[in-house]
Amino acid sequence: MKKLALISVVGLILTGCGGSDSNSNGSNDNNTQAPSAVQGTIDSVSGNTIVVNGYSYQVDSANYAGEDVAIADLEKNMMVSISSIARSASTHTGGTQVGLEPTIVGLISDTNHNNGTFKVNGIELTFTDLSREIENGDWVMVSSLPTANAGYKVLSVVKFEYSNLTESVEVEGLISDLNESTFKLGANLSVDYSIAHVDNNGSSNRLANGLWVEVTGSMVGSVLKADEVEVEDFDEIDNDTEIEGIITWVANDKSSFDLSYKGRFLVNDNTRYEDGNKSNLTLGTEVEVTTKQANGENVATEIEFEHDDDSQDWNNNDVDFEGEVQSTNDDALSFVIQTQSGNQTVYVNQNTRYEDGLSFQTLHGQRIEAEAYKVNNQYIASEVEAEDND
């Protein structure tokens, strides 16, 4: 196994062309145009060509955190992004730019190659294909998808040599147990963000439970001391972007769904489906979504179904509450709803949608229906509407 070597060089170039049987103008022999931008995993690597979401890209170089990565060191199932800006640059420079998008970066420990268990930044992970050349104390990049229990479904683990960022680690995950200075990330990682820069354009730089964030900083014992916390979303993606992910919430009428906890996509009569249909929009299904912007919303123009995550019980992650709102808490961004089984605290965030003229400020005393998902035994409202009395 090769080590992924990071060398401090900026200004990376690679060439993109669409389709697994591609030609020089960026389309394949089936006249299927490559998407303008891609976020997904590497299907295969051959020489300086990588295949992402079924499209081939000739690559001169790639990068992570502003550092050059040799194409020969890329591996299958690493998460990457190819932007429309990088693709358009290829017309003038002979190449575009690929960025590595790992979920977790840090030191590996507690490795057990017999059963594929290990830890990175104290997070317990499992990957049965873990290379025996990876040893405790190595720096690794982990690419993964979310699971139903706030954990990580590992897709790849790649060993690399850090050059000048050896004290910086990275973890993406769901926020829970948020207070003024700390929160939990994923299932159990404690994060101290008391001195961190918070980047959240959607909510006046406020964090909230249930948001998917990227945290960079350093490990101090078992605590991740954050330098920066950035909320990950799909608010600024270009039209015709294709995104690979897992469905983490679906509206009861299947009119919309959340992808990898990062953002919502609307479904309409013009949405096309491949290897499935609208009824296959279910929790835990891995998909590739092509999107466009319409009236400030992301609309799914095409959904390609990959496969279901049968290893997780996603159904327990989808909960509906009906009842009267007893109180709201502006600081915690939560409300208490009285249901037939008792009072329940439900949290909201910038991704929560309100129907029937409702807003968080008007919930007190209202009879509502709230569609929610569960993160570490906290319920996060995805959609809130007036209770149907019919």
Q: How confident is the model at residue 47 (pLDDT cuts 50, 70, 90)?
A: confident
Amino acid letter for position 17: C
Give one DSSP letter per residue of 191-253, joined into a string: EE-TT-EEE-GGGTT---TT-EEEEEEEEETTEEEEEEEEE--STTPPTTEEEEEEEEEE-TT
Q: What are the backbone angles phi and psi of residue 379, rounded to the nearest 5°?
A: -100, 130
Query: Among 149, 209, 199, which residue's Cα sits nearest to residue 179?
Result: 209
Q: For domain 106-232, is the CATH number 3.30.70?
A: no
**CB-based contact 43:80 (threshold 8 Å):** no
pLDDT at 166: 52
Q: What are 157-189's pLDDT values in tens digits?
A: 999 877 654 568 999 999 999 999 999 999 899
Q: Answer yes or no: same fold for 106-232 and 315-386.
A: yes
Q: Name the CA radius of gyration of the chain, rounded.
A: 21
Mean pLDDT value of segment 132-156? 94
pLDDT at 61: 73
CATH superfamily of 315-386: Copper binding periplasmic protein CusF (2.40.50.320)
Higher pLDDT: 65 or 281? It is: 281
Mean pLDDT value of segment 192-214? 88
> What residues pair up with 223 in beta bridges, in sequence order?
190, 220
pLDDT at 149: 84
pLDDT at 91 over 50: no
Query: Among 107, 232, 109, 112, which residue's Cα sits nearest to residue 172?
Result: 232
221 Cβ contact list (under 8 Å, min separation 6)? none
Mean pLDDT value of segment 3-10? 44
pLDDT at 216 over 90: yes
CA atoms within 13 A on the CB side of 274: 11
pLDDT at 307: 79
Mean pLDDT, rounded, of the chain? 86
pLDDT at 87 over 70: no
The 3-state DSSP class for residue 310 equals coil
Beta strand pairing call for 285-294 and 241-250: antiparallel
Q: How many CB atoms lie within 10 A of CB 66?
A: 13
Beta strand pairing call for 353-354 and 297-308: unpaired
Domain ranges (residues) in the chain = 4-100, 106-232, 241-298, 315-386
pLDDT at 42 over 50: yes
Mean pLDDT is lowest, of 97-106, 115-124, 163-172, 185-194, for 163-172
The 3-state DSSP class for residue 28 equals strand
pLDDT at 292 over 60: yes
pLDDT at 342 over 90: yes
Higher pLDDT: 167 or 68? It is: 68
pLDDT at 28: 43
pLDDT at 261 over 60: yes
Higher pLDDT: 316 or 145? It is: 145
Higher pLDDT: 288 or 160? It is: 288
